[in-house]
Amino acid sequence: MFPIADDNPHFGTPVVTWSIIAICVLVFFWQVSLGSNGGQVAAYQFGMIPARLFGTATLDPTLVAIPAWATVFTSMFMHGGWLHLGFNMLFLWIFGDNIEDSMGHGRYLAFYLLCGVAAALAQAVIDPGSTIPMVGASGAISGVLGAYLLLHPQATVRTVIFLGVFVTMMHLPALIVLGLWFLLQLASAAFSDTGEGGVAFWAHVGGFVAGMALVPLFKKRNVPLFQPARYRAFQMERRRGPWG
């Protein structure tokens, strides 16, 4: 099951969402330009290393570019490969605009960064001795998904369904798509070997939970939780007025 779009209209221009996507893409091009060795060095310089963050391990002085605490933020804009980047940016593109609408640009940016911090700390606490750099926007984006689940559970998400060799598309409520996504992350986290690196499933879980917890504090006062399926379309019609 793979979401490719939603049918949830947005009002304003999602400048923060678009800017985050642009920054992540540009940073990834910079990583690629460094070559394989240079890209690995950059991951150690700007990726979040739990053992370094908690002070139980030190980095080779030649690799130290910024303080350990700052890597919690820089790691959010780095990615480990084209698929990693592509999937993350697609999810942010689909779901970020509505959350930015619901919060406003400034609060949305603060919300996004806080979810990223929560996600990084969730992964680090689970495996505090890890010396493997963690990179990727998926923790912060998981927070966006958690917020979307609470704000727009009935919004329709166009989803590609893989049934063996058969592929079909279905329109499913966000509650089902994002609920199943979270359960998959939780199950994967429970059975993953954190010491081997790979996908930071606990970051996904931590970011998602943080997004659900923070959205009531960051959304605009006139934006309700658990919006009905037609709420956004109704609001759009009200803004257009009788003359379109």
Both structure tokens of 45: 């310089």
What pLDDT is stored for residue 230 in this prediction? 66
Q: Are strands 2-6 and 166-173 parallel, antiparallel or unpaired?
A: unpaired
What pLDDT is stored for residue 32 in this prediction? 96
Map residue 218 onto helix, strand or coil. helix
Both structure tokens of 196: 């081997």
Q: Provide the residue ranges of all domains of the chain, joining segments of one domain with +.
A: 2-240
What pLDDT is stored for residue 166 in this prediction? 87
What pLDDT is stored for residue 162 in this prediction? 87
Directed axis angle between helix 201-218 and helix 82-103, to 10°? 10
CA distances from 143 to 77, 93, 172, 188, 197 (A): 15, 14, 20, 18, 21
What pLDDT is stored for residue 213 in this prediction? 98
* Cα four-point dihedral sign 69, 74, 80, 84: positive
Per-10-residue mean pLDDT, the chain, length 244 = 90 95 98 95 96 93 93 97 96 97 97 98 94 96 98 95 87 96 94 72 97 98 87 62 50
Q: Which fold has domain 2-240?
A: Rhomboid-like fold (1.20.1540)
